Each structure stands twice: as C-alpha cells, then as structure tokens.
C-alpha cells in the first residue's frame, strides 16, 4: 500500500518549508503554500536560483501573523496584510500583482539579500490558471499547485550518486509538497494521472523540469553542487531540455490530507518519454501497481 509520508508547505516562495502531520488542500494546493513571495521593485521574483540564502529563511505562519527567522538576524513578526496597496508580482508563467506587506518586511529582505526587495502576499482577487495535462490554479508557485515525489525515486537517484562516488542528497533538495512511500518502481509518479489521498483528489499536470535549486543546501542556504543535477543528467533528460524529477499536480477536489493516508491511483498513463529512455534502475522493479496502491 502506498501512503503519504511527508506533507510540506512553503509560506514564502524560495524560503524554507514547514512539514506538518495534516493539511488542508485548497484549489491552489496545500494551505499556506507560496502565499508570499519576495520580489524586486519591478515585480521580478527573487528565488534560490540567484539568491540561495533564501533557503535559510524560516517563515512560520500562526494565525494572521508571519514570523521570519534567519541566521544572525533578529526575527521579524508581521501582521500579514490580506488586502491593501498592490505591488507587481510574477512567476515563470504568471504576471500580476500582490499585496504589499509593508516597509518593515521590505527592509528585512532588502538587508538580507543586499538588493531592494518587497514582500508581497496573494491578493483576494488573485486569478491564475495553470497549464499542463490537468489545468488548475496556484498561488506564487513556479507553475503548478503541488509537487509530488516518491521515496523510491530518491532512493534510486541516491544509489546512482553513490555509484559515481558522490554523497546522497536529502529529499528537501527537491522541495516537494507531498512525498509518497510504497511505490516500488522509481518515478511511478510520472505515470499517475489521477489520485486521491484523504478527502482530496489530484490530477497530473506535467513532469517537473528541475533548475539549479536542488544543488542548494536547504539547511545552510549555500550552493553545494554539482549533485544531484549531475547524476540526473545521465538518465533523466527531458526531450525538451533539462532534467526531470517529480510530478507537478493540480487540485481536482479540495479536502484534507494527513501523513499516513493511503494513496489511491484512479488512472495511469504509459511510461513518460524520460522514464522510457532511462537506464535500467538500480533498485528492484515490479509490475505497475493496480488502482489502489
């Protein structure tokens, strides 16, 4: 039986996540996920790609407040603004506006990054349609509501890294929202098209093409490459370029999920192009699971 073994939301895009035993699933993903982001004065988003130190920022949501913590800095506690003055905001696939969270938050991130920055929150009239095989919506995530990864995919990757003389990487390098255990074949998530867990239902959007963020140590906020991208490039190249790891999903039915919930797959696709082209996995294989896994 496959089950959920980790649930994580990331209150501020690019900053550290919060792992929880249970979570509400909204149309835009796990509650509190990427509902804030740091942007430049012109609205361009700040990310770990250029600012790896964001990984060491620990945001905490409690009621209507947001607490920001970072090594060597005083905590900042904010009353989050649900509405108010707007400021340009963006992701890879979306441009719009967010709610300006005030000069104190802007100053805190500007000092941290050494660049003029603004913290914005999702506006009450936020509208965004995400693409892929299953359309949906999202807050400030790069492209989709959720990232789903299986433990078997990471185990297989780390076996390959060790074989090449490298050090294994933890799951947090990939910043997933949902981690699934119990699928024996690595990258089974690529073949899922609809699944349920708890009272929520999810639909496959696309494979996740990875950038350089997995080469950032998520504890220290320092670059720690070349793994895992170097090894992924040997067997997970996408036909359109880049390497893939994990599955982007849209929410088909909001609800509640909890660690330990059974994962039930309702529909499957054939192997994805990058999976079909992969070398034989280093872990034992088994036939594709039936609908209830």
Same domain, 148 and 235: yes
Same domain, 234 and 259: yes
* Owning domain of residue 112: 32-121
| Residue 285 within a domain | no
The answer to whether residues 49 and 213 touch, using CB atoms and an 8 Å cutoff, is: yes
Same domain, 154 and 209: yes
| Residue 212 within a domain | yes
Q: What is the residue-level pLDDT of the chain in tens, covering all 293 positions?
A: 999 999 999 999 999 999 999 999 999 999 999 999 999 999 999 999 999 999 999 999 999 999 999 999 999 999 999 999 999 999 998 999 999 999 999 999 999 999 999 999 999 999 999 999 999 999 999 999 999 999 999 999 999 999 999 999 999 999 999 999 999 999 999 999 999 999 999 999 999 999 999 999 999 999 998 999 999 999 999 998 899 999 999 999 999 999 999 999 999 996 644 444 444 444 433 333 322 22
Closest-CA residue to 201 (of 123, 261, 283): 261
Q: How far apart are CA 117 and CA 102, in angstroms?
A: 11
Total domains, the chain:
2
Q: How far apart are CA 113 and CA 151, in angstroms?
A: 33
| Residue 23 within a domain | no
| Residue 145 within a domain | yes
Q: How far is CA 268 from CA 39, 137, 150, 197, 251, in A?
A: 38, 22, 16, 16, 17
Same domain, 143 and 95: no
Same domain, 153 and 92: no
pLDDT of residue 240: 86
Q: How far apart are CA 13 and CA 175, in angstroms?
A: 11
Q: What is the DSSP letter of 15?
A: S
| Residue 27 within a domain | no
pLDDT of residue 82: 97
Same domain, 103 and 158: no
| Residue 12 within a domain | no
pLDDT of residue 283: 40
Same domain, 149 and 227: yes
CATH of the domain at 199: 2.40.33
Same domain, 114 and 161: no
Same domain, 99 and 142: no
| Residue 1 within a domain | no
pLDDT of residue 271: 60
Q: How far apart are CA 10 and CA 30, in angstroms?
A: 9
Same domain, 103 and 139: no
**121, 154, 181 - which closes a domain:** 121
pLDDT of residue 276: 41
Q: Which tokens hold the place of 29?
A: 């993903």
| Residue 51 within a domain | yes
Same domain, 180 and 104: no
Same domain, 50 and 106: yes
């Amino acid at each position: 039986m496959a089950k959920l073994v980790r649930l994580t939301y990331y209150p501020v895009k690019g900053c550290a996540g919060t792992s929880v035993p249970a979570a509400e699933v909204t149309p835009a993903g796990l509650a509190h996920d990427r509902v804030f982001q740091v942007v430049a004065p012109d609205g361009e988003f700040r990310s770990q790609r250029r600012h790896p130190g964001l990984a060491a920022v620990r945001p905490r949501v409690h009621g209507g407040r947001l607490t920001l913590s970072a090594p060597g800095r005083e905590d900042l506690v904010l009353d989050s603004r649900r509405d108010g003055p707007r400021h340009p905001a963006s992701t890879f696939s979306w441009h719009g506006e967010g709610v300006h969270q005030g000069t104190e938050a802007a100053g805190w991130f500007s000092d941290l990054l050494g660049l003029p920055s603004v913290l914005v929150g999702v506006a009450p009239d936020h509208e965004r349609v995400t693409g892929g095989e299953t359309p949906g919506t999202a807050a400030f995530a790069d492209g989709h509501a959720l990232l789903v990864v299986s433990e078997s995919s990471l185990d297989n990757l780390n076996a390959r890294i060790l074989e090449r003389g490298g050090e294994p990487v933890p799951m947090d390098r990939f910043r997933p929202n949902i981690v699934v255990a119990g699928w024996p074949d690595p990258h089974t998530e690529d073949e899922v098209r609809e699944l349920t867990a708890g009272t929520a239902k999810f639909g496959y959007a696309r494979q996740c093409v990875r950038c350089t963020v997995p080469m950032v140590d998520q504890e220290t906020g320092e670059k720690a490459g070349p793994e895992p991208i170097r090894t992924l490039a040997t067997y997970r190249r996408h036909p359109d370029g880049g390497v893939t790891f994990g599955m982007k999903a849209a929410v088909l039915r909001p609800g509640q999920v909890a660690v330990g919930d059974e994962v039930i797959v309702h529909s499957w696709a054939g192997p994805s192009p990058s999976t079909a082209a992969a070398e034989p996995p280093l872990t034992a294989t088994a036939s594709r699971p039936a609908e209830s896994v």
